[in-house]
Amino acid sequence: MGQARPNAGHQAVAELERRGLLTGIVTQNVDGLHQAAGARRVIELHGGLDRVVCLSCRERTPRAELERRLRAANPAWEAAAARINPDGDAVLTDAQVTGFQVVDCVACGGVLKPDVVFFGENVPRPRVDECFALVAGASLLLVLGSSLTVRSGLRFVTKAASLGIPIAIVNQGETGGDADASLTLDAPLGPTLTELTTRLPVPAQ
């Protein structure tokens, strides 16, 4: 994940923000690629894999620091994953994890987890409220590359529709928000957004 780089879609979204055409970005991704492309106002709805959070004191620390501590606690440990799942989880055997030393929060000794919303968890309410406020202040809601099959993202489309805010959706395939959209475009994001940035005028500085 740390070696992933922004694609043409991320670059185009950052360019649209730079031109003042986007007031904010709500992403369901946890890879930090919007920020890596140069986007500034990004709300990570489901958190980010570049950090960990303590379940007790809620202190957040860089994931790279956790990796350094884990390597120090397990200097002889080496394991090659038998399989990497689509969600990034590595499948290891019981023998591979026997004796592995887990490290705790340096602040309070609590249990650490990736700072992402796992399946079954709720997005923190303040984060949801920030997203709703961003939607409420928008002149248009643009949905990019989401099937909107879960409520986590669909609720913002529903909110925009209830406020009479136009909705445009660019996605490959149908989405759960199509019925509320003023415009839907079944197309790949990278080429579509890149073409959009070439057609839109660059604002005067």
pLDDT digits (tens, 9 = 90+) for 139-181: 999 999 999 998 889 999 999 999 999 999 999 999 999 999 9
In tens, the pLDDT along 19-63 reads 999 999 999 999 999 999 999 999 999 999 999 999 999 999 999
Contacts of 111 (CB under 8 A, 6+ apart): 54, 55, 56, 104, 105
Q: H-helix or E-strand containing 51?
A: strand 47-54
- Helices 8-18 and 189-199: crossing angle, nearest 10°? 30
Q: Which residues face 54 on adjacent strands? A: 112
pLDDT tens sequence across 135-147: 999 999 999 999 9
- The count of other CB atoms within 10 Å of the CB of residue 157 is 24
The residues annotated with a catalytic role in the active site are 46
| Alpha carbon distances (Å) from 3 to 6, 20, 36, 65 | 10, 29, 11, 16
